[in-house]
Amino acid sequence: MPRSIIIDCDPGVDDAIALLLAIAQPSALNILGITTVAGNVPLNYTSQNALKICALTKVDIPIYAGCPRPILRPLSTAAHVHGATGLQGTKLPEPKATLMVQHAVAFLIDTLQQATEPITLATLGPLTNIAVALIQAPQITQKIDHIIAMGGAITHGNVTPAAEFNIYVDPHAAQIVFGAGIPIKLITLDTTHQVLTTSKHLDAFRQLNTPVGIAAADLLSHYGTSDIERYGMPGAPLHDPCVIAHLLQPELFTFRPTYTTVDTISPENLGRTVIDWWGQTDKTPNVEVAASVNTPGIYELLIESLGTL
Ligand code: BDR
Ligand code: CA
């Protein structure tokens, strides 16, 4: 039986690769819907980009546009990193499908309320849609199997010294989600900065010699150049596909239970995930944080999976 999931995302190059990975594994993942949120780029682009990825793979997954801005803060995008439209100008098929009329938050609430089995939420962007759904219908927590999220940092941020992008964009949403009593797994920058796309991987995607393989290579060849320069890394960190990889092959990661909160007040630390890694508080752990990753395993899974599309 495939696991039923909803993917909440803000494509974004790495979100796009994560969507391709999920779409490539229908026997493991039953994608009930894709919900989009403002993040890497404004909502109209994240939604159009999700439609383009579905058009590229010729799948018919309903896509629901969600919140156009964070709960309290103005939207700060990463367009300078991901290009103005979020997909670095890579040529993708124009979508024939259109967005669903229903709002992403209404879709999340209706789908969870009607679910007969728990649903997993895979989140790849700011947590605005999920937080608003939890505010509107707190009873949906009963129907969420768990949330597996990319976000936060144990050590250093990538937007500010303290904060990772997804949490920084909507820290209030993240704090609502982390405090909702839902089982949460968090894959932070400390893990994704070990999952670096090198020229060897780009060649492997291109050698698939399929529209999907070539698109993945094109997308990734421009991706993360600012990260490579800034951090002096040999490749760009592939954040969001880790979330889907974990659902497909949990053994690629280890996790550690922690008490985790989000700083929503301090100007210097806004959006920082405060992770009690050493158990220094007496608080009950609320978030399992990724502790290790098998990087070669992630790329093997990605290349093999995308090769099936
Ligand atoms: C996260 O921020 C976005 O730019 C990426 O898509 C990823 O979800 C990494 O900090
Ligand atoms: Ca993302």
pLDDT at 78: 82
Strands 273-275 and 236-237: unpaired
Residue with tokens 């682009």: 45
pLDDT of residue 152: 98
pLDDT at 84 over 90: no
> Which of 156, 165, 238 is the best mutation target for the ligand 1 pocket, counting ligand atoms within 8 Å of the beta carbon and taking the most?
165
The confidence score (pLDDT) of residue 229 equals 79
Number of separate domains in the chain: 1
Per-residue pLDDT tens over the stretch 173-219 = 999 999 999 999 999 999 999 999 999 999 999 999 999 999 999 99
3-state secondary structure of 161: coil
Which ligand sits nearest to residue 10's alpha carbon?
A: 2
Side chain identity at residue 280, one-letter code: Q
pLDDT of residue 111: 98
Domain containing residue 64: 3-306
Residue 12, preceding peptide bond in cis (omega within 30° of 0): yes
The pLDDT of residue 190: 98
Cβ–ligand 1 distance for 78 under 6 Å, the answer yes
- Alpha carbon 70 to its chain centroid, in Å, reads 16
HEC sequence for 27-48: CCEEEEEEEECCCCCCHHHHHH
Output the CA 39–ligand 2 centroid distance in Å: 7
Q: 54-68, 90-104, 124-138: lowest mean pLDDT where?
A: 90-104
Tell me which residue has tokens 């994560």. Answer: 18
Q: Where does residue 114 rank: exposed (0-12), middle (13-18), buried (19+ CB within 10 A)?
A: exposed
What local confidence, expressed as pLDDT, does residue 80 receive?
Answer: 74
Ligand nearest to the CA of 187: 1
**Residue 252 half-sphere exposure, CB side, CA atoms within 13 Å?**
23
Say which residue, 107 or 91, is predicted with more confidence.
Answer: 107
Assign 88 a pLDDT band (cuts: 50, 70, 90): confident
Q: Kindly state if the Cβ of 15 falls inside 6 Å of ligand 1.
A: yes
CA 243 – CA 192 distance, rounded (Å): 10
Contacts of 112-116 with C-beta under 8 Å, sequence gap 24+, read 112/137, 112/140, 112/143, 112/144, 113/137, 113/139, 113/140, 113/143, 115/4, 115/143
When the pLDDT of each residue in the chain is averaged and rounded to a whole number, the result is 95
Higher pLDDT, 109 or 234: 109
How many angstroms separate the most distant Cα atoms in the chain? 54
- pLDDT for 33: 98
Question: The domain that contains 185 carries what CATH number?
Answer: 3.90.245.10
Q: What share of the chain is helix, strand, coil (3-state, %, to 5)?
A: 40, 20, 40
Distance between Cα 126 and ligand 1 center (Å): 9
CA atoms of 149 and 243, how far apart (whole Å): 6
239 included as an active-site residue? yes
Res. 83 pLDDT band, cuts 50 70 90: confident
Q: Which of 82, 193, 201, 239 is catalytic?
A: 239
3-state secondary structure of 24: coil
Query: Is residue 228 packed enough to be buried (19+ CB in 10 Å), middle (13-18) or exposed (0-12)?
Result: middle
pTM: 0.97
State the pLDDT at residue 227.
76
Considering only 93-97, 104-108, 190-194, 285-289, which range has the smallest mean pLDDT?
93-97
Mean pLDDT of 127-138: 98
Q: What is the pLDDT of residues 208-238, one digit of tens each?
A: 999 999 999 999 988 777 777 778 888 889 9
Say if ligand 1 is within 6 A of residue 165 CB: yes
- Compute the distance between CA of residue 250 and CA of residue 297 in angstroms, rounded to an integer: 11
Q: Is the pLDDT of residue 280 over 80?
A: yes
Q: 50 C-alpha to center of ligand 1: Å? A: 15
